[in-house]
A and B are shown apart, each in its own frame.
Chain A
Amino acid sequence: MISIQSLNKDFGAFRALSDINARVEKGEVVVLCGPSGSGKSTLLRTLNRLEPITTGRIEIAGVDVNSRGVDINKLRQKIGFVFQQYNLFPHLTALDNIVIGLTKILKMPRDEATKRAMALLERVNLTRRASNYPAQLSGGEQQRVAIVRSLAFQPEIMLFDEPTSALDAEMIGEVLALMRELAATGMTMMCVTHEMRFAREAADRVWLMEKGKIIVDTDKAAFFNSHPNERVQRFLSSIN
């Protein structure tokens, strides 16, 4: 589903991603972890071309993301992206945050879009919040709306960049629960997160990044086994 080949990404003279080679199969859930500044966000952002690459190749469902001919806006509809915060548009209600993409990007009739949006809000138990503005929602509610807003496009891939890092502790659970549920439906997911509980429960593979490189790419069992790789051990102890 995702194939990354010899990817390099420079910011000026600084190499943020260095010779990345990796694959994500359809339905796989990959947890991406590593110290701050190691290039996790940059890697995620290159996947939907929010960040242009320097050299290398990224294929999503067989399509070269950075080729000139690709309709990037169409491709992005198939890739949901959830940021750490400020995902929702504050001038629109929870419902309209979902509806606007459907009506303006997909040109769906408004009543059909509203129906789909309400069904998604119901899925996360937020129907009663439909007409509230983002600022009236808790951080956890905002992130759940942001996730189902992406789902409205029926994406093939969901990317998460630390979706729970800005949340108060008591709200992290509800967002992770939704992500777990999504993983169980067979969604292809890449999640930057330090929630190792989530990785243990929902991940298929774990990538560990350091200084722009993927230094560990292994299945979950190997990552969390009792004799972990020394670098994994160092990382795990650093976050606990």
Chain B
Amino acid sequence: MPALDFSAIFTEHYRWLLITGLAMTLLLFVLCWVGAMAVGILLTIVRMVPFRPLELLVWAYVEYQRNVPLLVHLFVWYFGIPQLLPYSANDFINSHNSELIFAVIAIALYQAAYISEDLRSGIRTLPKVQFEAARAMGFTFLGSLRWIILPQAMRNSLPPLVNQTLLLFKATSLAAVIGVAELTYQARLIENETYRIFESFSVITVAYLAGTMPLIWLGSRLSRNNASRTR
């Protein structure tokens, strides 16, 4: 039985690959998170506008995102969308790390659907009077959402939002399939060259756990706080 040999994958070159992979994973994570949050909040706001066609549009978007696997979204964006774009746009994208751009778009749009669902259920638990009280004071529609409704919805939805963050962090690994050089991609590269399959993947497993464990801890703490909070 062959012994484990981590030294083979910790040469200077492979260390460098792992570090850049980690950096890329973190970059992906941050970009996707910010994008998903922004789009998720936007969807939530659009959804509150009392205009039926808009409501239907958001509904269709959310269902499309939730019912098609993320991997398919990634393929559609990376292989499908460029076909529809003019050459000039393709040139621009290709010279600006197209893998990363399309991965961020696909993952962010996908997670945004879930985030807007979480925020919407956070809003549903608020008494209707909260919105009316804000409007009656003289807040605009957007002002009421910005200062009164969304802060409360965010707080109500914190545990599911942390959970979405966790899922998003793990989902960044799928970007490997379209060639984004993040952790999983680098591990495959190293494993291919060294045949140290188990070692390669254990290293990135530890790296992923280092990211997810604090989120899990935070999530359970928040749920506990929410349950015990009397106000």
Residues on A facing B (Cβ under 8 Å):
48, 50, 73-74, 76-77, 79, 81, 83, 85-91, 100-101, 104-105, 133-136, 149-150, 153
Contact = CB atoms under 8 A, between A and B. Distances in A.
Contacts of B130: 86, 89
Given A50-B132, A135-B231, A86 B127 contact: yes
B136 A153 contact: no
A135 B155 CA distance: 15
Given A89-B152, A91-B151, A73 B230 contact: no
B148 interface: yes
20 contacts: A50-B135, A74-B138, A76-B137, A81-B133, A81-B137, A88-B133, A89-B130, A89-B133, A89-B134, A89-B152, A90-B152, A90-B231, A91-B152, A100-B147, A101-B137, A101-B139, A105-B137, A135-B231, A149-B137, A153-B138
A174 B25 CA distance: 59
B133 A105 contact: no
Given A50-B136, A134-B231, 11 more contacts: A50-B132, A50-B135, A73-B138, A79-B136, A81-B133, A83-B129, A85-B127, A87-B129, A104-B139, A104-B147, A150-B137
Nearest to B141: A73
A77 B147 contact: no
Contact of B139 (A48, A73, A79): A73
B192 interface: no
Nearest to A88: B133
A153 B143 CA distance: 17
A134 B152 CA distance: 13
Instruction: List the 5 shortest-distance A-B pairs measured between CB atoms, nearest first.
Output: A135-B231, A81-B136, A77-B138, A86-B129, A86-B127
Which residue, of A73, A85, A135, has the highest number of chain B Cβ atoms within 10 A?
A: A73
Contacts of A81: 133, 136-137
Which residue, of A74, A88, A100, has the highest number of chain B Cβ atoms within 10 A?
A: A100
**Interface bracket on B:** 20 to 34
A81 B131 CA distance: 13
B129 to A, nearest CB: 4
B140 interface: yes
Interface in B149-207: 151-152, 155
B9 to A, nearest CB: 49
Nearest to A78: B138
Which residue, of A90, A91, A149, has the highest number of chain B Cβ atoms within 10 A?
A: A91
Contacts of A150: 137
A110 to B, nearest CB: 14
B148 A89 contact: yes
Contacts of A91: 151-152, 155
B216 to A, nearest CB: 26
A77 B129 contact: no
A79 B135 CA distance: 11
Contact of A105 (B127, B132, B139, B155): B139
A76 B136 CA distance: 6
A105 B143 contact: yes
Contacts of B151: 91
Nearest to A101: B137
Contacts of B143: 104-105
A87 B134 CA distance: 9
A29 B133 CA distance: 22
A105 B231 contact: no
A101 B147 CA distance: 9
A149 B133 CA distance: 11
Contacts of B134: 89
Contacts of B138: 73-74, 76-77, 101, 105, 153
B122 to A, nearest CB: 12
A129 to B, nearest CB: 14
Nearest to B134: A89
Nearest to B129: A86
A73 B133 contact: no
B133 A76 contact: no
A136 B231 contact: yes
A135 B136 CA distance: 22
A86 B231 CA distance: 13
B145 to A, nearest CB: 12
B135 to A, nearest CB: 7
Given A91-B155, A100-B147, A85 B136 contact: no
